[in-house]
Amino acid sequence: MASLSAALVVLVTGALASPATNSQQLSTRQVPDQAQVIDWKSINVLPTVLPPTQANASAFFFVPPGLDLESMKDKPFHIFDDEFYDVIGSNPTLTLIASSGNELLFHEANTWYPPTDEMFFVQNAGAKPAGTGLNKSNVISKISLSEAAAVSNLRNATGSVTIQTLDTPEIINSNGGTNFQGQIVVTTEGQGDDKPAQLMLMNPVEPYNSTILINNFFGRQFNSLNDVSVNPRNKELYFTDTLYGYLQDFRPVPGLRNQVYRYNYETGSIAAVADGFTLPNGITFSPNGSHAYITDTGNSHGFWGWNFSNPASIYRFDVEEDGTFGNRHLFAYVDSGAPDGIHCDSKGNVWAGCGDGLQVFNPSGKLIGKVFLGKTSANFNFAGDGRMVICAEDELYYATLAASGGGYIS
């Protein structure tokens, strides 16, 4: 999903109060230097609650009473529940490592490649400031994790990490990515009528050559392939197909339903496994592969604006032994923007990129914490144990914390 280019306007719901209002600790544990406790009861009853037309039109993230935007960004690890202490550890850090202006280089497809210890990501495809879509394809870039780690003691280390752009002209308007078969699977959205959306396999080392895995469903073009994930139990690829190419004016009127598909690399078989979404987007699996999590960014309509009565939701499915999906239910509804990229950590906590940064839910769907950026993060990913790279369109962040990724699947 591409975020709107308009500046975010913050909704402040109460007068500033003493910092003590929001420092009521849920436990006696020491609050890390870059963290703060958000007291739920300070939110439950507000002095002023704006009418829907004002709130929906003006605000993508919520500022609790007693805080302002700067204080929320100054201590970006927001603790909503004691469980979050174990997720972030005793000394979490967040470092701004790159800024790109209007290039919007840092969008999605965050994929860690352990053999070279590099993180790959893609530019926004379709955002007007990026000039991509029909005008040109987006680009794929990567960074060295060792360079990022070297400056993790700083809050702002812009310019300290090299952004290497890859030469991949055959990959048109990429959006999602994941490790697979020792390479990287990339979803592409296509371009115009004649360049269809595709699932591609890219070599993560030079010359970065690629192979097309899928470019049609029984002779029909996909709409705009968005995200892809490997189920750790059956090793099959599952991917989402949605409308953002059409909603951002670089793909034709859709010819298929918005659906989730499964692909078996060995046999080549493709099958739809889930529908009923407004705009299916991110997809991931629990560490043991028994559950699938899919985001629906239905409230965000690309260049057409927002409809806040539509889903901004995460749905959970049971993954049956035969690889099919069952028992769909609402897992979480986010309070800021829409949930886009999604990943699980090794404990089964669910992380989602949203309008205010990252939101973290325990396996029961309870919000336990946030990594607050004060802006949209469409995607992010773990890089093994205790490391994370966060894309925020024109900014790139490196975080250290206690949580680990759900497991590297080759």
Per-residue confidence band for 52, with pLDDT thresholds at 50, 70 and 90: confident
Per-residue confidence band for 35, with pLDDT thresholds at 50, 70 and 90: very high
The predicted-structure confidence for 343-402, as pLDDT tens digits, reads as follows: 999 999 999 999 999 999 999 999 999 999 999 999 999 999 999 999 999 999 999 999
The predicted-structure confidence for 82-100, as pLDDT tens digits, reads as follows: 999 999 999 999 999 999 9
The pLDDT score that the predictor gives to residue 262 is: 98
The predicted-structure confidence for 18-27, as pLDDT tens digits, reads as follows: 333 444 445 7
The pLDDT score that the predictor gives to residue 16 is: 39
The pLDDT score that the predictor gives to residue 7 is: 35
Is the bond into 207 cis (omega within 30 degrees of 0)? Answer: yes
Report the C-alpha gap between 81 and 364 in whole angstroms: 13
Q: Look at residue 17 and tell me whether its pLDDT is greater than 80.
A: no
The pLDDT score that the predictor gives to residue 410 is: 58
Per-residue confidence band for 59, with pLDDT thresholds at 50, 70 and 90: low
Give me the half-sphere count of Cα atoms (radius 13 Å) on the Cβ side of residue 246: 15
Q: Look at residue 4 and tell me whether its pLDDT is greater than 60.
A: no
The predicted-structure confidence for 284-341, as pLDDT tens digits, reads as follows: 999 999 999 999 999 998 888 888 899 999 999 999 999 999 999 999 999 999 999 9
The pLDDT score that the predictor gives to residue 40 is: 93
Per-residue confidence band for 10, with pLDDT thresholds at 50, 70 and 90: very low
Q: Amino acid identity of 276?
A: G
Distance of CA 299 to the CA centre of its chain: 16
Per-residue confidence band for 3, with pLDDT thresholds at 50, 70 and 90: very low
Report the C-alpha gap between 359 and 370 in whole angstroms: 4
Q: Look at residue 9 and tell me whether its pLDDT is greater than 60.
A: no
Distance of CA 280 to the CA centre of its chain: 13
Give me the half-sphere count of Cα atoms (radius 13 Å) on the Cβ side of residue 71: 17
- Within 81-214, residue ranges assigned H as helices are 83-88, 145-149
Question: Which among 123, 119, 8 has a CA at the least distance from the CA of 398?
Answer: 119
Question: Which among 316, 282, 283, 279 has a CA at the least distance from the CA of 300?
Answer: 279
Residues contacting 194, CB < 8 A, separation 6+: none
User: Average pLDDT, stretch 257-277?
Assistant: 98
Q: Look at residue 14 and tell me whether its pLDDT is greater than 60.
A: no
Q: Look at residue 264 and tell me whether its pLDDT is greater than 50.
A: yes
Residue 345, SS3?
strand
The pLDDT score that the predictor gives to residue 12 is: 41
User: Average pLDDT, stretch 167-181?
Assistant: 97
Report the C-alpha gap between 338 and 11 in whole angstroms: 16
User: Average pLDDT, stretch 247-264?
Assistant: 97
Question: Which among 29, 32, 13, 25 has a CA at the least distance from the CA of 371?
Answer: 32
The predicted-structure confidence for 124-164, as pLDDT tens digits, reads as follows: 999 998 899 999 999 999 999 999 999 999 999 999 999 99
The predicted-structure confidence for 202-251, as pLDDT tens digits, reads as follows: 999 999 999 999 999 999 999 999 999 999 999 999 999 999 999 999 99
User: Whole-angstrom distance between the N-terminal and C-terminal Cα of the chain?
Assistant: 26
Structural domains in the chain plus CATH codes: 11-78 (no CATH), 83-404 (2.120.10.30)
Q: Look at residue 48 and tell me whether its pLDDT is greater than 60.
A: yes
Q: Residue 166 is encoded by which pair of tokens?
A: 């890859």
H or E element, residue 54 = helix 52-58
The pLDDT score that the predictor gives to residue 60 is: 72
